[in-house]
Structure 1
Amino acid sequence: MGLSDAARLVVPVLSATGGSARSTVAHLLADELATAADTVVFDLAPRLASPWPAWISGTQAGGLAALPPDRPQGRLDIRGAVAERQASGGAWGVLTDGREWNAAPLTLPDQPAAWYQLAAAGGWQALIADTAHPMAHDVLESRCSGSPSVTRAWCDLPFAVPVLCAQATAAGMQALQQAVMVLHAEGLPLQRTVVVLAATADGRLPAVVRAAATMLSARAAAVVHLPHDPDIRANGLQAQPARIRARTRQAARELATAVLTAACQSFGDPLPDAPQPAPLSAVAVPAV
């Protein structure tokens, strides 16, 4: 299942807490989506809290610092800022802040529409956003204060399929179930949300995890179990592709298939063309 050249899929990878394998899921999903679409991962975490900058160390990519917000950017400029990774099904890119640790923090936009616009200008078909905000807290804070919700803004983007990550533990399930209740209360699109449960060890999943997966399968588009992988656990994003277990790759393929299926079932099969910016109306310039 591939995307047409004019289609654009948005996959915000979300979690209610840290340590939910969010970046690993984004990485594995990009490996698989690259076979179906021109794919990029945008790293939205602060530089010193993100695993991505270390991953692009030594590459020639300029990263986010090469895209100053006060200067127009062409497609070649945007593509040149992205580091490339070779996967078995094709290459994909990652845009992160790869500068030294002591560089001054960049001022990055909070609104998902800005990142969507950047992906559109770069010409990518699939945007995977490795988000950093605590999703459930963000939605609840928005509900209580009336301020805009970043989570809702991601879900409202054209052709967005959220991926919600959690550890396959009792604590992880508690955080996940609270997050799902918040999403449901706010009317966010659970029916096109894919849930990923990341195992922390080999062996049979705890009963509480199996029960939660059964409950979630009736509400979410799909529930995918990501098995424990020693090389990923030890090396994170630096894990060698050849050493990643076959069952991990199978889970990543199931995840990519679930995302594409949810998109087509929600928006149409094949996925419609991405919306184009409306042309600016002509402005009359008075004669001097």
Structure 2
Amino acid sequence: MAAIGGSGRSTVACLLADALARFGDAVVADLSARLCSPWPAWTAGAQGGGLAVLPPDRPLSRAEIRGAAAVRPAAEGRWSVLTDGREWSTAPLPLPADPAAWYQLAAAGGWQVLVADTAHPVAHDVAAADWAGLPGLTRGWCALPYAVPVVCAQPTADGVQQLQQAVEVLRHCGGVPLERMVVAFSAASDGRLPAVARAASTMLAAHTAAVVHLPHDGGIRARGLAARPSRIGDRTAAAARDLASAVLATAHEAFGDPLPAAPRPTPIPLPLPSPTVPRPGAGHVPV
């Protein structure tokens, strides 16, 4: 999760999935709109049918779900990605907003670890949900079994300010477990960590489960994360392992070690069929 765009959220999700693949069968759920997401490019050449081949109006087998996922090699093993890799000219997919739908999909696919690359700004979501008297997406994700929210930010003056504002919103509005929230600072440039980020780390350590710094990686900047894991720098890989360890330690402390078996998700009821109207030259389409 992140307070604003450009916080390194997808990069962190990718590195985290790569590191968590050592511990269990992992999948990344790409929740961004297709033309705003890096995942289709990162999984080019390794894609299954994608989210477009998983219709929401009929039961799906485990083989169908896993066959739709792209597969990426990890430093140890491999992991999967559920994204929409179709051409830009195709109609956008109406992806479900309900976090429980993604949990259900991952469970039906048999994955042990779900890394959700969310697209909504967390502070705005929580504040707007409070005003509307609704739970909101952020609280929905945090309420899933054994969820550990990872909030991403750039270690810059602006990034730290946005992160601190988000934490203040979460503390004031409640419903988001700061005690099991992990903060991931993702550096966009090389050099020593700015003083403002060091100060923020000290402050956040008192309110969150862990603060992890991911260094600038020249290979990622030059080639993106379509590159194989062997091209990721040693410092970056070590920081990703630290992040995965922090996430697992937080989950174990909050829910038990070893983690209990996850509950089977309750089926989400489908909406009633929509009426249809004729459209010239196109037969009948739902409205």
Q: What's the TM-score, normalizing by structure 2?
A: 0.90
Q: What's the counterpart of residue 37 of structure 2?
A: 50
Q: How large is the Cα RMSD of the aligned pairs?
A: 1.3
After superposition, the Cα gap between the structure-2 partners of 1:175 and 1:121, relative to the gap in structure 1 and judged at 3 Å, is same
Aligned residue-pair number: 266
How far does residue 277 in structure 1 lie from its aligned partner after superposition?
A: 4.8
Segment of structure 1 superposing worse, 157-166 or 141-150: 141-150
- C-alpha change, 1:203 and 1:277, in structure 2 (3 Å) is closer
Match of 2:245 in 1: 257
Show the counterpart of 1:36. Answer: 23
CA-CA distance at 1:145 after TM superposition: 1.6
**TM-score normalised according to structure 1 size:** 0.90
Q: Counterpart in 1 of 2:49? A: 62
| Aligned-partner residue type, residue 98 of structure 1 | G
Q: Secondary structure at the match of 1:73?
A: coil
Unaligned 5+ runs, structure 2? 268-287
Q: Which of the pair has the greater relative contact order for Cα pairs under 8 Å at 6+ separation? A: 1
Query: Equivalent residue for 2:9?
Result: 22
- Say whether the 8 Å CA contact 2:103–2:265 is kept in structure 1: no
Aligned letter for 1:235?
A: R
The reply to whether residue 266 of structure 1 matches residue 254 of structure 2 is yes
Note if 1:214 corresponds to 2:196: no
Give unpaired runs (5+ residues) of structure 1.
1-13, 280-288
CA contact (8 A) 2:43 2:226 kept: no
The 2-side partners of 1:184 and 1:149 are apart by 15
Q: Compute the displacement of 1:278 (Å).
A: 6.8
Aligned to 1:15, the other structure's residue is in SS state: coil
Letter in 1 for 2:115: I
CA distance in structure 2 between the aligned counterparts of 1:78 and 1:193, rounded to whole angstroms: 30
Corresponding residue of 2:144? 157
2:187 matched residue in structure 1: 199
Preserved contact between residue 47 and residue 85 of structure 2 (Cα < 8 Å): no
Q: CA separation in 1, counterparts of 2:22 and 2:59? A: 31
Match of residue 125 from structure 1: 112
1:247 & 1:30 partners in 2: Cα distance?
A: 17
- Which position in structure 2 is the counterpart of 1:148? 135
* Alignment correspondent of 1:245: 233
Which range moved further: 207-216 or 140-149? 140-149
- Whether the aligned pair in 2 keeps the contact of 1:35 and 1:89 (CA below 8 Å) is yes
Q: Deviations over 1:216-264 (max 9, x none)?
A: 0111110000000011122322234222211101100000000000000
- Report if aligned partners of 2:151, 2:181 keep a CA contact under 8 Å in 1: yes
Contact persistence 1:60–1:83 (CA under 8 A): yes
